[in-house]
Structure 1
């Protein structure tokens, strides 16, 4: 079969592979420094390679300003073409090293999810995927839309059905407290008995869904510190500071040990759930998200079982 002929050499301007790789890394990672770490060169070298590429093309590909790099309109179009070309070159067997290099998979997740669900399960993943290096970074609630966290797999805590997100957990919430707080106030028999109890508040997990399920026409708690993290809320509950609205999957260890105890068998669907999004077209990221979904299913099941408290 005859292959299509290339245009005359005089009409072609081939950039170097190193320049294309530097551009791809800087665009993907958002900074010369992080691109330099990946390519094992200096940030100055990354900048120079991209500048040479831009001179060759006669156009700017990256807007340099602020704390991160952004693609120009032409840069976005060119990036897709560059990645397609690099992908074809990478697929050539003769271009691959005898020993497969590690693939770094960057996973961002909220702090409490990372600590209580993701990280404890990672040994199981890495044992089965020695060719993949997992890099876990924390995303902060209410700052996730700032674009500050770039990742291959992104876990978010937000309203179900968010565009581009797939549900990871479908879990109910319920109030729990430490034994010392229960002893101080007396075991509540009805949800209304919580009047006068300190209710820990966080905008990440508002009380309104549980109030409605309990038939309580109460406003959100307004006393005490405002904790913008589910883990801090759990720690405050353990420290006898108040009642936390908990997800059993995150508190399952403390529920099993009896350090936290559910006050009512009255779960409610929360306003937000954990969801995941992967980089489009990234098969390794999609496979990791599938694995993470099974980890979440196990965590939810263990949380339900832990509600019975110590054996």
Structure 2
């Protein structure tokens, strides 16, 4: 059940100024107007005026002015406990920290598999290189026209000639399968794929790869249709079939040995994909957006190179 909307403030509500609360807390803690003034970088007279205005608002005396130091009244002691709680809550909010206010916030929209397999593992590097940028990552599913809202930069998967977008990297495609599936059904060449389930995704259809291998086969029409490259790789890891995969996105499973080239290293044909990941330019370029774009290009290039190296290294 949702919370009820807040009610209108009572006409009797009297809110003190934040400056008055800070002056009172500092004077009560430090014992003199002068020391409180030094901490808050104002004059002792200003401290006295702010506390006086606070006392007038509340209708009670909070401090007893002594010859050498201030003494809290009974009402002041009770009020100080509540004031400190309020100030602590305000101080804990990151929006009130100067370091947070100096950061530039960027929102990046990216497809799920790219975000999980390429972007997130590399994020500590970006944070270390650009501590002044606060990056927020939101997911999109371009195949279903579900775009991340209000993002300054967006990664998209699409045709090589996507208008107005910068190419991040062009990947290869090759069949990958789990060791368990390959042990149960050894595959020696592309024609042997007729004996095993082929995992389907509209993002990377099998037909171009079939044609490149001289196979006059139609697009597979059996089994679940997974509208996500990561789900396709996970299904292959579980032994549900052979996935037509991009090495850059399969690095996690290639490293662990949970996925392998279907016909062995050096024997599984690679096809240069006719789709790729692109970066849509920022509508309002800034140095932070330019830094993120350059870093994404570098990360994508490295991911593609590592993926191919892992495929080649499989014995």
TM-score of the aligned structures, taking structure 2 as reference length? 0.64
User: What do residues 53-87 of structure 1 show as CA deviations (whole Å, max 9, x unaligned)?
Assistant: xxxxxxxxxxxxxxxxxxxxxxxxxxxxxxxxxxx
Aligned-pair Cα RMSD in Å: 2.0
Q: Which residue of 1 aligns with 2:185?
A: 185
Verify: 1:274 aligned to 2:273, yes or no.
Answer: no
**1:56-75 correspondence runs (5 A):** none
Deviation at 1:150, TM superposition (A): 2.5
Q: For the residues of structure 2 that align with 1:270 and 1:98, how far apart are their CA atoms?
A: 47
Q: Which residue of 2 aligns with 1:131?
A: 132
Q: Which residue of 1 aligns with 2:244?
A: 245
Instruction: Assess, with a 3 A threshold, how the Cα gap between structure 1 residues 257 and 148 changes in structure 2: closer, same or farther.
Output: closer
Deviation at 1:212, TM superposition (A): 1.4
In 2, are the aligned partners of 1:201 and 1:225 still within 8 Å (CA)? yes
Among 264, 289, 296, the residue aligned to 2:293: 289
In 2, are the aligned partners of 1:141 and 1:228 still within 8 Å (CA)? no
Q: What secondary structure sits across from 1:307 in the alignment? A: helix
Q: What secondary structure sits across from 1:286 in the alignment? A: helix
Q: For the residues of structure 2 that align with 1:162 and 1:226, how far apart are their CA atoms?
A: 25
In 2, are the aligned partners of 1:257 and 1:309 still within 8 Å (CA)? no
Q: For the residues of structure 2 that align with 1:275 and 1:191, how far apart are their CA atoms?
A: 30
Deviation at 1:256, TM superposition (A): 2.5
Q: What secondary structure sits across from 1:157 in the alignment? A: strand
User: What do residues 132-176 of structure 1 show as CA deviations (whole Å, max 9, x unaligned)?
Assistant: 1000000013233x5663211100011111111111011111001
User: What do residues 259-285 of structure 1 show as CA deviations (whole Å, max 9, x unaligned)?
Assistant: 111124311122321110121341221
Instruction: Assess, with a 3 A threshold, how the Cα gap between structure 1 residues 192 and 131 changes in structure 2: closer, same or farther.
Output: same
**1:65-144 correspondence runs (5 A):** 101-144=102-145
Instruction: Assess, with a 3 A threshold, how the Cα gap between structure 1 residues 310 and 265 changes in structure 2: closer, same or farther.
Output: closer
Q: For the residues of structure 2 that align with 1:265 and 1:137, how far apart are their CA atoms?
A: 35
Listed as ranges, the gaps of 5+ residues in structure 2 are 1-5, 7-96
Q: Which residue of 2 aligns with 1:170?
A: 170
Report how many aligned residue pairs link the two structures.
Answer: 214
In 1, are the aligned partners of 2:178 and 2:258 still within 8 Å (CA)? yes
Q: Which residue of 2 aligns with 1:206?
A: 205
Deviation at 1:253, TM superposition (A): 2.3
Instruction: Assess, with a 3 A threshold, how the Cα gap between structure 1 residues 248 and 147 changes in structure 2: closer, same or farther.
Output: closer
Q: For the residues of structure 1 that align with 2:224 and 2:128, how far apart are their CA atoms?
A: 41
Q: For the residues of structure 2 that align with 1:172 and 1:150, how far apart are their CA atoms?
A: 31
Q: Which residue of 1 aligns with 2:71?
A: none
Verify: 1:220 aligned to 2:219, yes or no.
Answer: yes
